[in-house]
């Protein structure tokens, strides 16, 4: 159980959607997917900060300024305070990077005029 966050956008392809469904992969933010498990994993806490003050009951049109501000909160807080609790491999903070990649990807979609929307599934 957990929270799954999907980005969709104008022109999204079937392949794009399939790439987001990689068995709860917490490292594919660059594809427009984030995962946070409820079972005390720090990823759920990070999602709650990244999407603070947003109504999860409906789709959310990306406000890139809010998303970037919330990422900054993570960078100055949870990413420092609980670095060791995030998934890493060979010294690389793969899970933390996934949050950065998600926001970067959303920003690129906004700049391209593709109207990104976040879908919350929990």
- Given phi > 0 = left and psi -120 to 50 = alpha, else beta, which region is 52? beta
CATH of the domain at 91: 3.40.1760
Q: Please tell me the total count of domains within the chain.
A: 1
Residue 12 structural domain: 2-121
* Rounded average pLDDT over 66-85: 94
Q: Which residues, in sequence order, are CB contacts of 56 under 8 Å at separation 6+?
A: 120, 122
Q: What is the pTM of this model?
A: 0.93
3-state secondary structure (DSSP) of residue 64: helix
Report the chain's mean pLDDT, rounded to a whole number: 92
DSSP secondary-structure letter at 62? Answer: -
Helix or strand (DSSP H, E) at 118 = strand 117-121
Confidence of residue 96 (pLDDT cuts 50, 70, 90): very high
One DSSP character per residue, 70-115 reads: HHHHHHHTHHHHTGGGS--BTTB-HHHHHHHHHHHHHHHHHHTT--
Positive or negative, the CA dihedral 19, 85, 104, 115 is positive
Q: Is the pLDDT of residue 90 over 90?
A: no
């Amino acid at each position: 159980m957990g929270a799954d966050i999907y980005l969709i956008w104008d022109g999204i392809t079937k392949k794009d959607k399939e790439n987001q469904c990689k068995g709860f992969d917490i490292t594919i933010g660059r594809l427009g997917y984030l995962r946070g498990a409820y079972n005390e994993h720090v990823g759920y806490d990070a999602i709650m900060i990244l999407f603070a003050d947003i109504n999860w009951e409906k789709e959310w049109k990306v406000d890139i300024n809010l998303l970037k501000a919330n990422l900054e909160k993570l960078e100055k807080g949870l990413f420092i305070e609980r670095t060791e609790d995030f998934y890493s491999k060979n010294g690389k903070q793969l899970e933390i990077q996934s949050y950065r990649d998600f926001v970067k990807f959303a920003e690129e979609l906004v700049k391209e005029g593709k109207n990104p929307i976040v879908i919350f599934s929990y």
